[in-house]
Structure 1
Amino acid sequence: MGNLIKAEMRKVLTTKSWWALMIPAVLFAFLFALGWGAITNDLNDYLGSSDARQLAGALGVQLGELPVGLLSLAHGVNIGTMFPVIFGVFALAGEYSKKTITTTFLTAPNRVSALTAKMITYIGWGAVYGVVIVAGASLATLLTVDSRGLPSAGQWLAVLGAGVLATILATLFGIGVGAVWNSVVGATVTLTIWMLVVENVLVFVSFGWWGVRWLGGVLPNGTLNGIVGAIGAEAFGAAGVSVPGELDKDFQWLLQYTAGAPGAFSWWAAALIFLAWTMLFFAGGWAANQRRDIT
């Protein structure tokens, strides 16, 4: 197994995909966090509605001192996690495209060993992506968010842990989708359109037209975003906690949406639901590749 993992690591390092995707991942995380950091300062300046006063009182904080930097971090990390998903697609679907899968399977004791080594290798790469993406979003947050709105040290560590967990699961999710689809282009285009456009439209329309608030808490992109985004939502009393004198449900959903986690139940629930999506596609891809012919 050790030699198989070394072989997988060499495959990654001898291609351009790992850094070609990591650079835009960090760049997008930085830019999105930078933009949201500038916007969130205004939230502390202008919060003054009755709902906001109720929220602040329930959380025991003063208006103007909410940790709005969590919103900046969440949006930066969430956009960055799209790139580990695409990176994961290359893991197996890329080998079929380049015709190297034959060598991979024939030099391993069996396909289970080869796929296990690939999974372990990409878990490590997913963690690396998580650290650099959170670092990029954190730098932008520090540059733009006023000190009164910065998260506490504990909240920052929570974002780091959740961000690494999210990117690991995102990478495995990408492997699974790529393995099922067996096409880099097809899987990448479909995932990008679904996660950035289709699902966001579904969540927004379902809330606006039918009042469905939970849809984002169960769909793949929503649950992936919720792993980090729900930390901010929880800090604002909009997810994972019980706020005395319950918030207006529409206002609660709006806070979740602002945190990048509309419909999220809590960060750990989002992680478990996205883990289920990951295992569904990963198991499907695993099964498909036990039977798939190689040439």
Structure 2
Amino acid sequence: MGNLIKAEFRKTLTLKAWWALMIPAVVFAFAFALFWGMVTNDFSDFLGRSDTRELTEALGISTGELPVGLLALGHGINIGTMIPIIFGVFALAGEYTKKTITTTFLTAPNRVSALSAKMITYIVWGAIYGVIIVAAASLGTVITVDSQRLPTAGQWLGVLGAGVLATILATLFGIGVGAVWRSVVGSIITLTIWMLVVENVLVFVMFGAADITWLGGVLPNGTVNGIVGAIGAEAFGAAGVKVPGLQDETAWALQYAAGAPGAFSWWASALIFFGWTMIFFLAGWAVNQKKDIT
């Protein structure tokens, strides 16, 4: 197994994808955190003065002490997490595209060993992406958010842990989708359209038309975003144990501001997205156990 893992790292490092995708991950995480930091720094105008006053009174803090930096971090990390998903697609679908999958399977004792080595390798890569994405989002947040509104050290460590968890699961999710589809282009186009367009439109439409606030908390994009975003929402009493008297519309707006509309809590989002990951990962595993190679 050790030799198979070394081989997987060598295959990844000899290609440009790992660092080429790192560039947009850093840029997007930094830019979105920078933008949302500017938007949410003046939180009274962003949410509405009466809502802000009620919220701060319930939380027992002043308006200037609201940790709006968590909202910027959530958006920055969430957009950056799309890149590990794409990187994961290349893990197996890329080998089918380049016709190297035959060598991978034939040089391993069996396909279970080959796929297990690939999974372990990309868990490490997912963690690397997570640390870098959180660092980029943190920089964008620090630049735009006032110091008294930044997260505490404990909250920042929580965001780091949640961000790494999210990128690891996102990478495995990408592997699973790519393994089922076996096409890099098809997987990336489908995932991008679904995650960034279709699901977001669906969540907004169902909230506006049917007042359904929980849909984003069960769909793939919403749950991977909720792993980090719900930390910010929970800090404002809009997820987990909610602030008494907080209206559903206000709670949903706070969840959206944190990048996690519909999220129940960070750990619930992690469990649900883990379920989505396992569905696609195990389906891809099963497909590739029976797939003929040439």
* TM-score of the superposed pair, with normalisation by structure 1: 0.98
Map 1:1-295 → 2, pairs under 5 A? 1-44=1-44, 49-244=49-244, 246-295=245-294
Q: Given that residues 175 and 282 in structure 1 are in contact (C-alpha distance below 8 angstroms), is that contact kept between their aligned partners in structure 2? A: yes
Q: Given that residues 44 and 68 in structure 1 are in contact (C-alpha distance below 8 angstroms), is that contact kept between their aligned partners in structure 2? A: no
Alpha-carbon distance in 2 for matches of 1:150, 1:166: 21
Kindly state the Cα deviation for residue 242 of structure 1 after the two structures are TM-superposed.
Answer: 3.2
Give deviations 1:27-62, integer Å, cap 9, x for gaps.
Answer: 110011111111111215666533322221221111
Alpha-carbon distance in 1 for matches of 2:207, 2:58: 26
Alpha-carbon distance in 1 for matches of 2:46, 2:83: 34
Q: Given that residues 40 and 46 in structure 2 are in contact (C-alpha distance below 8 angstroms), is that contact kept between their aligned partners in structure 1? A: no
Give deviations 1:168-216, integer Å, cap 9, x for gaps.
Answer: 0000000000000010000000000000000000000000011100000
Aligned partner letter, 2:248: K
Give deviations 1:70-97, integer Å, cap 9, x for gaps.
Answer: 0110000000000000000000000000
Q: Given that residues 44 and 52 in structure 2 are in contact (C-alpha distance below 8 angstroms), is that contact kept between their aligned partners in structure 1? A: no
Gaps of 5+ in 1: none
Aligned partner letter, 2:178: G
Aligned partner letter, 2:126: G
Runs of 4+ in 1 over 6 A off after TM superposition: none
Indicate the SS of the match to 1:237. Answer: coil
Alpha-carbon spacing, 1:251–1:45, altered in 2? closer, same or farther (3 Å) = closer
Alpha-carbon distance in 2 for matches of 1:46, 1:195: 26
- Farther-moved stretch of structure 1 (7-16 vs 31-40): 31-40
Q: Given that residues 33 and 76 in structure 2 are in contact (C-alpha distance below 8 angstroms), is that contact kept between their aligned partners in structure 1? A: yes
Q: Given that residues 216 and 260 in structure 2 are in contact (C-alpha distance below 8 angstroms), is that contact kept between their aligned partners in structure 1? A: yes
Indicate the SS of the match to 1:61. Answer: coil
Give deviations 1:92-111, integer Å, cap 9, x for gaps.
Answer: 00000000000000000000
Indicate the SS of the match to 2:30. Answer: helix
- Farther-moved stretch of structure 1 (132-141 vs 235-244): 235-244
Alpha-carbon spacing, 1:134–1:46, altered in 2? closer, same or farther (3 Å) = closer
Q: Given that residues 226 and 265 in structure 2 are in contact (C-alpha distance below 8 angstroms), is that contact kept between their aligned partners in structure 1? A: yes
Aligned partner letter, 1:55: L
* TM-score of the superposed pair, with normalisation by structure 2: 0.98
Alpha-carbon distance in 1 for matches of 2:196, 2:20: 20
Indicate the SS of the match to 1:64. Answer: helix
RMSD between aligned residues: 1.0
Q: Given that residues 44 and 66 in structure 1 are in contact (C-alpha distance below 8 angstroms), is that contact kept between their aligned partners in structure 2? A: no
Q: Given that residues 88 and 173 in structure 2 are in contact (C-alpha distance below 8 angstroms), is that contact kept between their aligned partners in structure 1? A: yes
Kindly state the Cα deviation for residue 131 of structure 1 after the two structures are TM-superposed.
Answer: 0.2
Alpha-carbon distance in 1 for matches of 2:131, 2:102: 33
- Farther-moved stretch of structure 1 (234-243 vs 220-229): 234-243
Kindly state the Cα deviation for residue 148 of structure 1 after the two structures are TM-superposed.
Answer: 1.6
Alpha-carbon distance in 2 for matches of 1:168, 1:123: 5
Alpha-carbon spacing, 1:56–1:183, altered in 2? closer, same or farther (3 Å) = same
Alpha-carbon spacing, 1:52–1:287, altered in 2? closer, same or farther (3 Å) = same
Aligned partner letter, 2:108: A
Alpha-carbon distance in 2 for matches of 1:159, 1:92: 29
Give deviations 1:116-169, integer Å, cap 9, x for gaps.
Answer: 000000000000000000000001111111112111001111110000000000
Alpha-carbon distance in 2 for matches of 1:47, 1:192: 30
Q: Given that residues 44 and 65 in structure 1 are in contact (C-alpha distance below 8 angstroms), is that contact kept between their aligned partners in structure 2? A: no
Alpha-carbon distance in 2 for matches of 1:240, 1:23: 34
Q: Given that residues 227 and 266 in structure 2 are in contact (C-alpha distance below 8 angstroms), is that contact kept between their aligned partners in structure 1? A: yes
Alpha-carbon distance in 2 for matches of 1:183, 1:46: 42
Q: Given that residues 238 and 255 in structure 1 are in contact (C-alpha distance below 8 angstroms), is that contact kept between their aligned partners in structure 2? A: yes
Alpha-carbon spacing, 1:56–1:154, altered in 2? closer, same or farther (3 Å) = same
